[in-house]
Amino acid sequence: MDEKLEQMKQTYMDIPIPAELDFIVNQAINQHRKKPRTNLKWMTAVAAAAIVFVAGLNTSPAFAHSLADMPVVGKLIKVLTFREYLYDDGAHNAKVEVPIITNLDNKVLEESLNTKYLEESKKLYTDFMFDIEKMKASGLEGHLGVDSGYIVKTDNDQILAVGRYVVNTVGSSSTTFQYDTIDKKNQLLITLPSLFKDEGYVQVISDYIKEQMIQRMKEDPAIIYWVEGVPNDVKFYFSSIKKDQSFYINKDGKLVIVFQKYGVTPGYMGTPEFIIPTNLLADQLSTHAYLLPE
C-alpha cells in the first residue's frame, strides 16, 4: 500500500495546473464593446495574446520580471498572482494562489522569495491531492479542503509587507500565516532580530503582550488567552515570543506581532495580533528607519 501511495504522490507532483485566463480575455472584450464596431479578428487576436501573456506568466518568472521593464505596466505591478491551483470534486476542494513579487532591483532577493512561494504552494497542492487519494484508498469519506492565498498588509514608499495564509479543513479548520517584510528603498528582507541591537527585545515585547492579554480578558469575558498568571484547562501558558516570531510592519509604521491559530488562544480567537508601541522599543532599536514613534 505504501508503494502505491508513493506512486500516487509522484503522479500528482507532476500534474501541470492550467491558469485562469478569463479575467484578461473578458477585460479586453469589455473594453472593446465600448467602441461602435466589433472586429472578430481583433477579439480573437486579443484572446490569443491574453493566453500567451498568462501562459508566459505561469511558466516563466523571467517573463513576469520583464513586465517590470515595460512602461506603465512596470509601475503598476508589485505583487500579483503568478499561478492558481484549483480543485473541486464536491467533497474535496482546493484553491492555492501563488504570489510573485516584481520590480525589486535586488533580483537575488526577488528570485529567492518567488521561488519559495512557488515551491511551498506546489507542495501544499500536491500534498492535498495525495491526501485525497490516501483517503480513497483507505475507504474513508469526509470533507477535505485547503485555501491558500496572500494579502498585502503594507505597501508604501518604504515597506512592502506580504502575508501568506493557509486554511486547512478536515472536520475543523486550522489557519497559519507567514509574513515577509521588505525594505523597498534598500532592497532588503527585514527580519525581527535585524530591527534590534540585541536579544533584549524578546523580553520587552513579551512582557507587553502578556500585559495586553490580561487587560483584554478583563475588558471582555469572551476573550481567552493562555497566558502566565491566568489558570486555564489546557495547561499551557504563553511566557515569551520567539526570537524570529512572526511579524510585519503596518501602514502606520508600527511593529505587529502575530500568533498562529491555537498558538496562544482557543481556535475561535483566530490568529491574534498585537501592535507594539514604538516608544516602548526605542532603546532596543538598531535603526529608527522603519518603526515610527507615536
Distant-in-sequence, close-in-space partners of 73: CB < 8 Å, separation ≥ 6: 67
Which band of pLDDT confidence, cut at 50, 70 and 90, is reported for residue 277? very high
Which band of pLDDT confidence, cut at 50, 70 and 90, is reported for residue 25? very low
Residues 51-56: what's their mean pLDDT? 47
Q: Which residue has the higher pLDDT, 112 or 7?
A: 112
Distant-in-sequence, close-in-space partners of 49: CB < 8 Å, separation ≥ 6: none
Q: Which CATH superfamily is domain 2-190 in?
A: Fervidobacterium nodosum Rt17-B1 like (3.30.565.40)
Which among 58, 82, 91 has a CA at the least distance from the CA of 149? 82
CB–CB of 168/131 below 8 Å?
no
What pLDDT sits at residue 103? 87
Lowest mean pLDDT among 187-196, 228-237, 275-284: 228-237
Residues 166-179: what's their mean pLDDT? 89
Which band of pLDDT confidence, cut at 50, 70 and 90, is reported for residue 141? confident
| 149-159 pLDDT per residue, tens | 999 999 999 99
Which band of pLDDT confidence, cut at 50, 70 and 90, is reported for residue 280? very high
Which band of pLDDT confidence, cut at 50, 70 and 90, is reported for residue 189? very high
Q: What is the grid cell recorded at 69?
A: 521593464
pTM (predicted TM-score):
0.74
Which band of pLDDT confidence, cut at 50, 70 and 90, is reported for residue 229? confident
CATH of domain 193-281: 3.90.640.20
Q: State percent of the chain over pLDDT 90.
A: 65
Residues 211-229: what's their mean pLDDT? 95
On the 0-12 / 13-18 / 19+ scale of CB atoms within 10 A, 36 is exposed
Residues 184-212: what's their mean pLDDT? 97
Which among 207, 216, 192, 164 has a CA at the least distance from the CA of 291? 192
Predicted confidence (pLDDT) at residue 17 exceeds the cutoff of 70? no
Which band of pLDDT confidence, cut at 50, 70 and 90, is reported for residue 245? very high
Q: What are the sequence ranges of the domains in the chain?
A: 2-190, 193-281
Q: Which residue has the higher pLDDT, 266 or 23?
A: 266
Amino acid letter for position 127: D
Give the relative orientation of helices 22-33 and 40-59 as an angle to the nearest 10 degrees. Answer: 150
Predicted confidence (pLDDT) at residue 243 exceeds the cutoff of 80? yes
Residues 162-187: what's their mean pLDDT? 92
Predicted confidence (pLDDT) at residue 226 exceeds the cutoff of 80? yes
Query: How far is Cα 27 from Cα 279, in angstroms, rounded to an integer?
Result: 48
Which band of pLDDT confidence, cut at 50, 70 and 90, is reported for residue 12? very low
Query: How far is Cα 250 from Cα 234, in angstroms, rounded to an integer?
Result: 32
Which among 202, 291, 201 has a CA at the least distance from the CA of 250? 291
What pLDDT sits at residue 142? 86
On the 0-12 / 13-18 / 19+ scale of CB atoms within 10 A, 267 is exposed
Predicted confidence (pLDDT) at residue 241 exceeds the cutoff of 90? yes
| 29-50 pLDDT per residue, tens | 444 444 444 455 544 444 444 4
What does pLDDT average to over the chain? 82
